[in-house]
């Protein structure tokens, strides 16, 4: 398992991480982690490895793109001095290109996405034990769908960044493809983006597998 005793693990991303987490910081009492995959992964880690006394923080913000993450990285990530940072970002970077095509100022195109993401990694790795990078996704099995094709391209960039910088990689799009061999995406998310509790737990399971959390 990647995490050690008293490590701080900080999750950051968009609405997929947010899910009504506490403000200003998503940690502590009264369901402060919210109800996303972050809450599921954090609860399971706390139960599976109680002796580690992990500190788990959710800093997801609904609607964020990698551009937004860059603006709040110092206050919402580095200021917490995490040992590990898990990032799930890119859905809105792609989605705005399709649901708001008339608003190009909201679009984060591939070059900006890659450069901004790389800068965040470079700014963070010197002060942490490691980073976990998760691909953005679209719950569309048809790989020729325009938004799915675009999302796949952004996911490939995340894989390339993980390989380049030696980060742990989680391919969520591939995981959804495996799940949807057995069920329709509508069973998980009506908009093919925001998962229900089954989907949140599924994401959490991909995360736990990637970090080597394998206790019963």
Catalytic hit among 99, 127, 163, 191: 191
Catalytic hit among 7, 15, 46, 123: 15
Q: Please give the structure tokens belonging to residue 143.
A: 């790989």
Q: Is 15 a catalytic residue?
A: yes
Q: How many helices (H) and strands (E) does the chain have?
A: 8, 5
Q: Is 152 a catalytic residue?
A: no
Catalytic hit among 7, 68, 80, 194: 194
What is d(CA 162, CA 64) in angstroms, rounded to the nearest whole number? Answer: 21
Which residues, other chains included, contact 19 with Cβ-Cβ below 8 Å and sequence gap of 6+? 34, 35, 36, 38, 39, 60, 200
Q: Is 191 a catalytic residue?
A: yes
Q: Which of 99, 205, 76, 90 is nearest to 159 (CA)?
A: 90
Sheet strands side by side (includes 8-13)? 55-58, 8-13, 84-88, 130-134, 168-170
Q: Which of 53, 52, 4, 2 is nearest to 209 (CA)?
A: 2
Active site positions, annotated: 15, 191, 194
């Amino acid at each position: 398992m990647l995490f050690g005793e008293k490590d701080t693990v900080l999750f950051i991303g968009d609405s997929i991480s947010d899910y009504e987490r506490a403000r200003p910081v998503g940690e502590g009492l009264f369901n402060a982690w919210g109800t996303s995959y972050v809450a599921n992964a954090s609860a399971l880690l706390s139960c599976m490895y109680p002796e580690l006394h992990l500190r788990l923080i959710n800093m997801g913000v609904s609607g964020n793109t990698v551009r937004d993450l860059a603006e709040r990285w110092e206050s919402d990530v580095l200021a917490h001095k995490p040992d590990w940072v898990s990032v799930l970002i890119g859905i809105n970077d792609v989605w705005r290109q399709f649901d708001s095509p008339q608003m190009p100022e909201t679009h984060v195109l591939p070059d900006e996405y890659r450069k901004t993401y790389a800068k965040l990694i470079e700014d963070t790795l010197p002060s942490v034990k490691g980073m976990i990078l998760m691909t953005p996704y679209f719950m569309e099995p048809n790989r020729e769908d325009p938004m799915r094709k675009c999302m796949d391209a952004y996911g490939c960039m995340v894989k390339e960044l993980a390989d380049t910088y030696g980060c742990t990689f989680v391919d969520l799009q591939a995981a959804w493809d495996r799940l949807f061999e057995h069920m329709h995406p509508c069973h998980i998310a009506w908009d093919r983006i925001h998962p229900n509790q089954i989907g949140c737990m599924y994401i959490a399971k991909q995360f736990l597998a990637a970090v080597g959390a394998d206790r019963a």
